[in-house]
C-alpha cells in the first residue's frame, strides 16, 4: 500500500489526488499540485514567468513565482473558502514549472513567453501565470488572442500601464498601450480597476479608480465590469500593486490608497459569470514583503480564480455560515 503522505507535487500519479502535507514541509508547488509537463486531460496549467528586467523602480519580482507557490501551502490544506469544496476533485490543475527565460538576450524574452504560452494553450488548457513584472502580461495576452481573438482585459493595478510606448520597448508601464494599438486587446470591452496614478488619456478603457471603488462599493464595480465584458473572452491581469501597500508591501512600485485584500477577493469572486480564459498575477517582489503578506494575497487571488473555473466545471458550492 502506497504511503500517501507528503511530497505529492512529485509523487502523485493522478491529477485529482490530494494528500496530507505538512504545511511547513514537503516539495513546493502551487496548491501542492503535481509538477508535470504532460498536458493530457489538464484544465489549468500554472506556470511562473520569472522576468523582471522591465521594471521602472524596485526589482525582485523574478522571485515572485517561488514566493506565491510557498504562500499557497495553507490554501491546499483545507477545502476552499468560501466555496466549501476540494478544488482538486473537479478541476485538473498542474504546476508546469517556470518558463525558461534568458535575461542576457532581452530581445528574445517576448518571443520566448509567447512560445511558452502557445504550447500550453494548444492543448486546450487555460493558463494561470505568475510574474515576474507586468510586462510579461503582454506576450501572454498576445498568445491568448491567437486563440480567442481580441481579449477583454480586466486589469487590477495602481497604474494604467498605457504610457507612451516604443514598439520594441521592454517596459512594464507601457505595454497595454501597444497591445491596444495592435488590436490584441479590445479596449471597448476592457476595464482597469483600482488605478491611482494619472495619464492624459484613458486609451478607451473604462477606468474605475480606487477612490471611486471605495465610495461606490463592490457591487457597483462588478456591474460595470460585467456589463462591458458581456460574453467576450476575459483575461484578468492582476498587478499586486492594485492593493494598497498596507496589504501588499512586497512590490516594486507601491502607491497609497489602493484596494484592500478583502475588496480584491470580493471582486474576483464576483466575476464567475464571465467567460474567463486566462489570468496572471504579477509584481510580487518578496524582498520587500513582510510575513508573506503580499505573497499570501497573491496566492489567494489566484486560488479563488481557479475556484471560479471549478464551479463552471460543476463543483458544488457548500455554504456554511453567513457569507
Q: How far is CA 147 from the centre of its chain?
A: 19
Tell me what pLDDT residue 70 has: 97
Which pLDDT band holds residue 16 (cuts at 50, 70, 90)? confident
Contact between 32 and 21 under an 8 Å Cβ cutoff? The reply is yes
| Coil vs helix vs strand at 280 | strand
Section 45-57 average pLDDT: 96
Which pLDDT band holds residue 248 (cuts at 50, 70, 90)? very high
Give the span between the Cα atoms of 304 and 66, in whole angstroms: 19
In CATH terms, is domain 28-313 a member of 3.90.650.10?
no
Tell me what pLDDT residue 202 has: 83
Give the span between the Cα atoms of 94 and 79, in whole angstroms: 18
Contact between 209 and 194 under an 8 Å Cβ cutoff? The reply is yes
Strand locations in 126-274, DSSP E? Answer: 126-131, 152-156, 191-195, 206-209, 233-239
Tell me what pLDDT residue 2 has: 53
As a dihedral over the C-alpha atoms of residue 9, residue 12, residue 13, residue 14, rounded to 10 degrees, the angle is -80
Section 182-196 average pLDDT: 97
Give the span between the Cα atoms of 14 and 31, in whole angstroms: 15
Q: What is the DSSP string of 126-137?
A: EEEEEESSGGGH
Is the Cα torsion angle 182, 190, 199, 176 positive or negative in sign?
negative
- The per-residue pLDDT of the chain, averaged, comes to 95
Contact between 272 and 51 under an 8 Å Cβ cutoff? The reply is no
Q: Which CA distances in Å does 288 have to 52, 86, 247, 258, 261?
A: 14, 32, 12, 17, 17
Residue for cell digits 491611482? 196
pLDDT of 1 higher than 50: no
Residue for cell digits 466549501? 84
Residue for cell digits 463552471? 312
Tell me what pLDDT residue 177 has: 93
How many C-beta atoms lie closer than 10 Å to residue 197's C-beta? 15
Give the span between the Cα atoms of 286 and 252, in whole angstroms: 10
pLDDT per position as a tens digit, 199-215: 888 889 999 999 999 99
pLDDT per position as a tens digit, 271-298: 999 999 999 999 999 999 999 999 999 9
Which pLDDT band holds residue 74 (cuts at 50, 70, 90)? very high
pLDDT of 113 higher than 50: yes
pLDDT per position as a tens digit, 117-153: 999 999 999 999 999 999 999 999 999 999 999 999 9
Tell me what pLDDT residue 102 has: 95
pTM (2 d.p.): 0.95
Amino acid at each position: 500500500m502506497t504511503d500517501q503522505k507528503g511530497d505529492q507535487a512529485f509523487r502523485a500519479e493522478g491529477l485529482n489526488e490530494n494528500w496530507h502535507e505538512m504545511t511547513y514541509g514537503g516539495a513546493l508547488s502551487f496548491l501542492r499540485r503535481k509538477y508535470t509537463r504532460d498536458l493530457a486531460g489538464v484544465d489549468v496549467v500554472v506556470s511562473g514567468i520569472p522576468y523582471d528586467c522591465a521594471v521602472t523602480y524596485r526589482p525582485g519580482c523574478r522571485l515572485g513565482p517561488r514566493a506565491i507557490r510557498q504562500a499557497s501551502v495553507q490554501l491546499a490544506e483545507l477545502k476552499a473558502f468560501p466555496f466549501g469544496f476540494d478544488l482538486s476533485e473537479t478541476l485538473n490543475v498542474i504546476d508546469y514549472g517556470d518558463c525558461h527565460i534568458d535575461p542576457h538576450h532581452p530581445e528574445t524574452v517576448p518571443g520566448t513567453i509567447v512560445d511558452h504560452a502557445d504550447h500550453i494553450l494548444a492543448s486546450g488548457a487555460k493558463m494561470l501565470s505568475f510574474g515576474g513584472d507586468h510586462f510579461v502580461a503582454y506576450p501572454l495576452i498576445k498568445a491568448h488572442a491567437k486563440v480567442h481573438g481580441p481579449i477583454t482585459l480586466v486589469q487590477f493595478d495602481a497604474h494604467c500601464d498605457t504610457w507612451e510606448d516604443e514598439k520594441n520597448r521592454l517596459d512594464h508601464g507601457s505595454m497595454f498601450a501597444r497591445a491596444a494599438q495592435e488590436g490584441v486587446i479590445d479596449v471597448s470591452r476592457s476595464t482597469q480597476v483600482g488605478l491611482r496614478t494619472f495619464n492624459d488619456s484613458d486609451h478607451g478603457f473604462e477606468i474605475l479608480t480606487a477612490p471611486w471603488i471605495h465610495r461606490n462599493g463592490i457591487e457597483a464595480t462588478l456591474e460595470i465590469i460585467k456589463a462591458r465584458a458581456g460574453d467576450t473572452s476575459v483575461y484578468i491581469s492582476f498587478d499586486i500593486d492594485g492593493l494598497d501597500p498596507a496589504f501588499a508591501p512586497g512590490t516594486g512600485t507601491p502607491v497609497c490608497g489602493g484596494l484592500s485584500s478583502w475588496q480584491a477577493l470580493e471582486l474576483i469572486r464576483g466575476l464567475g459569470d464571465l467567460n474567463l480564459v486566462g489570468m496572471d498575477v504579477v509584481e510580487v517582489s518578496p524582498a520587500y514583503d513582510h510575513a508573506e503578506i503580499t505573497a499570501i494575497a497573491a496566492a489567494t487571488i489566484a486560488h479563488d480564480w481557479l475556484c471560479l473555473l471549478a464551479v463552471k466545471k460543476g463543483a458544488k458550492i457548500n455554504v456554511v455560515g453567513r457569507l
